[in-house]
Amino acid sequence: MGDVRATVEAVDAVAVVDDDEWRRRGLVDGLRELGVRDPGRPAEGATVVIVAAEAARDRWDRLAGFRTAGDLRELLGDGARIVILADGLDNPLVPVRAVEAGADHLYPRAEVRDLDALRAVVEAPSPDRRPAALVDPARLDPLGVTPTSRLSAGLALIEQRGVTGLFDDPPTVQLTRRQSITLRRALATAMAVHPAGPVTAARNQAVRPTWHQLRRLVDLARGAAPALP
């Protein structure tokens, strides 16, 4: 494996943000083995923050780590590098959420499987792992999403309005037609999405995404629906 300790020693501190205790302990132990000073310290004093995308508990937003990363970016500014670990990148909306969060790098968790890989994440992450480089516009167009869509903002709006039950199967919350139209407009605006298909100059911007499209987007963005091919 070589001497990884000397190269990582230059990193002052690494914070690990993961509400799954065993995953968090595993990363912190690995960082200690690499010789990182103060691994696992509070994020406010870290130069690198590793954030787990997936929430350990049964949360409505199963990818709540992206919103956590966004909060940390606001808190830390440019003073720390934020790396998100996700269980898989087959979901085309995952990189979009990472871009929205202001993350510097996005890695599939399975790729960070040994000390060499962990060292790379901490010390010299690949430019290929920048979220913007992982966005695939060809997969976004059929969803009505752009690389600058604000998916986490839409999920936060749904939670703030107390209507997460609309996305249960079957729905456990009912809205009037007027309420549905209002929510549909608010979601389309908050998420910065458009009717499915490529945006063209001739598109009537007054047209809103359908409820079916928004429902699919929300479930895909929160990790509750299988990824599209």
Residues 6+ apart with CB under 8 A from 61: 55, 67, 155, 159, 222, 223
pTM above 0.75, yes or no: yes
Residues 64 and 147 occupy one common structural domain:
no
Last residue of a domain, one of 106, 135, 164: 135
CA 142 to chain centre: 20
226 belongs to a structural domain = no
Mean pLDDT per block of 10 residues along the chain (229 residues) reads 43 84 91 87 88 86 95 92 92 97 97 93 94 95 94 97 93 93 95 80 62 94 79
Let me know: does 84 contact 100? Beta carbons within 8 Å.
no
Same domain, residue pair 106 and 11: yes
Query: What one-letter code names the amino acid at 42?
Result: P
Same domain, 65 and 150: no
Q: What is the pLDDT of residue 175?
A: 92
**Residue 228 maps to a domain:** no
Q: Are 228 and 92 in contact (CB under 8 A)?
A: yes
Domain tally, the chain: 2
Instruction: Give pLDDT, residue 134.
Output: 97
Indicate whether 105 and 20 sit together in one domain.
yes
Domain region containing 66: 5-135
CATH code of 109's domain:
3.40.50.2300
